[in-house]
Amino acid sequence: MPDLNQKQALFRSASATIYLCNSLRSILYALQGFPAPNFFRLVIGAGMIVINMAMVFVYTGRPPMAMTYVEQVKFPVIPGVLGEGETLFTYKGRCVVDGITIFCLWVFMGSHFLGFVTAALLGAATAFKTMQPDLFTELFRETGDGGGNYQSVDNMI
């Protein structure tokens, strides 16, 4: 049976891989029709690249310079949904990013497979909340605090 660090490394690696695949798909979407790409495609593709690469940085813990900027990103307060201090490192922050990603993959990009895999990872994170609470607390911070174990994937193995 894998221990907590192995499970954490596996989930972080799978998440980073999927976000990297989403970024590559976004690049292809943004540049479709090159040398005269559609402006709408460029905007959606660029936004998706930024969102997904930020999540790759979150799950790999690298590069350290980018992590200082990602740490400072906070979502606006939405009463009843997002409280004050929600970041990319919290569970609700991941739900927001995954929701945006899944919507864009399915509606705009037509990449249903990647959307499904991203949704499956979000479902796995939700399942960890009840089935593996110790793993859940290691993967996600509490709202607005500095908790959670956010070392790079290399240090966990």
- Give the chain's radius of gyration (CA, Å): 16
**Per-residue pLDDT, 1:** 63
pTM: 0.80
131 lies in a domain?
yes
- Identity of the amino acid at 110: G
Mean per-residue pLDDT over the chain, rounded: 82
The domain in which residue 141 lies consists of 4-148
Residue 149 pLDDT exceeds 70: no
Residues 88-127 as b/e (b if ≥16 CB within 10 A, e otherwise) read bbbbbbbbbbbeebbebbbeebebeebbebbbebbeebee
153 within domain boundaries: no
Number of H helices, E strands in the chain: 6, 0
By the 8 A CB rule, do 60 and 152 touch? yes
Question: What's the number of domains the chain is made of?
Answer: 1
Going by C-alpha positions, the residue among 100, 92, 97, 98 that lies closest to residue 136 is 92
Q: Would 157 be classed as within a structural domain?
A: no
pLDDT, tens digit, 9 for 90 and up, residues 9-65: 898 899 999 999 999 999 999 988 777 778 888 999 999 999 999 888 888 888 878
Say how many residues make up the chain.
157
Establish if 156 belongs to a structural domain: no
Binned at pLDDT 50, 70 and 90, residue 99 comes out as very high
User: Would you state the pLDDT for residue 143?
Assistant: 60
**Residues 52-86: tens digit of each pLDDT:** 998 888 888 888 787 777 777 777 776 766 666 67
In a domain, 57, yes or no: yes
Separation between Cα atoms, residue 131 and residue 98, nearest integer Å: 21
